[in-house]
Amino acid sequence: MAALFSGGKDSTHAVQIMEMQGHEISCLVSIIPSDRHSWIFHTPNMHLVPRMAEAMGKPMVTASSDGTEEGDLKALKDALLDLDVDGVVTGALASDYQWDRINGVCQDLDLAVYSPLWRKDQEQLMRDMLSSGLRAIIVVVSAEGLDHQWLGRLIDDRSLEELKNASVRYAFNISGEGGEYETLVIDSPLHERPLVIIDTEIELSRDGGRLTVTCAELGERR
C-alpha cells in the first residue's frame, strides 16, 4: 500500500504503526501545495520530503497542487492513479473535512483507506510517539499560548508536558490537529539515517511563526 506522507509526526507515526502490524508500505506519496494555506495537506518544509524518503529507504511519489481544494484533490488522484497498490495510509487524527475528501478520492479509485490514528486519544498518541522513538521538532506555531520560542523545539517528555498545560489553559488541541502547530520529523524507527538540520530561517507574523529548513543533510548512526 501507499502512505500519504508530509514529513510531520502524524503521517510518520501512521506508517510506523502499519509496518509494525505487518503491512508493507511500498511508497510514500506527497502532495505539495503552492499555497501554504492548503486546508487538506501539510505545507511546511515540503522541499525536504524526498530527502526524508531517502532517509527511510522508501520510494517517493510527489505531485504539485495550487493549494485549492479542487487542485489538492486532483493532485492526489493523479498521484495515486497509476500506483500498483490496493490501499492508502493516512495520518488523519480527527478532521472530518480531511477524512471525507481523502476517502472520496480513494473510493473513486477503489482503494481502501487505513487511518490508524483516527479518533484515538490524542494525548496518549503523543506519548506513544515519543516512547516509540519518533523525534519531531515544531516548525509552525499559530495559536495563543505558542510563541516563537517553540519554533525548532524538540517534542520530548518535558515539552509535551508544557504543551499539555498550555493546551488546557488556552483551549487548543494538544496534537495540533486544528493547525495550532506543525512538525517536522528528524528521526524515527523508520529512519535508516536521521535528518540533520544545518541552517534555518524563521518568519514571524501577527498570527504566529514558521521555521523553514534551508539546509539539511542525512546523518550517520552512531
| Residue range 202-221, pLDDT digits in tens | 999 888 999 999 999 999 87
* pLDDT confidence of residue 207: 83
Residue 124 has pLDDT above 90, yes or no: yes
| Residue range 146-185, pLDDT digits in tens | 999 999 999 999 999 999 999 999 999 999 988 899 999 9
Residue 39 has pLDDT above 80, yes or no: no
Tell me the backbone φ, ψ of residue 88, rounded to 5 degrees: -130, 135
Number of H helices, E strands in the chain: 6, 9
Residue 35 has pLDDT above 90, yes or no: no
Sheet with 27-33, strands from edge to edge, namely 60-65, 27-33, 2-4, 87-89, 112-114
Q: Which of 36-45, 133-142, 167-176, 212-221 has the lowest mean pLDDT?
A: 36-45
CATH number of 132-218: 3.90.1490.10
Architecture of domain 2-114: 3-Layer(aba) Sandwich (3.40)
d(CA 121, CA 132): 16
Which residue matches cell numbers 495559536?
Answer: 143
d(CA 113, CA 116): 10
Residue 24 has pLDDT above 90, yes or no: yes
Residue range 7-14: mean pLDDT, rounded: 96
* pLDDT confidence of residue 213: 98
Tell me the backbone φ, ψ of residue 217, rounded to 5 degrees: -145, 170
Residue range 114-140: mean pLDDT, rounded: 96
* pLDDT confidence of residue 99: 84
Contact 183, 213 (CB under 8 A): no
Contact 198, 152 (CB under 8 A): no
Residue range 183-201: mean pLDDT, rounded: 96
Q: Considering the chain, what percentage of its residues have pLDDT values greater than 70?
A: 100
| Residue range 58-75, pLDDT digits in tens | 999 999 999 899 999 999
Going from N- to C-terminal start, the domains of the chain cover: 2-114, 132-218
- Compute the Cα dihedral for 13, 15, 16, 17 and give only its sign: positive
Mean of all residue pLDDT scores within the chain: 94
| Residue range 91-103, pLDDT digits in tens | 999 888 888 899 9
* pLDDT confidence of residue 37: 79
d(CA 185, CA 137): 6
Contact 188, 132 (CB under 8 A): yes
With a CB cutoff of 8 Å and minimum separation 6, the contacts of 57 are 192
* Nearest alpha-carbon partner for 60 in 130, 122, 140, 5: 5
* pLDDT confidence of residue 41: 87
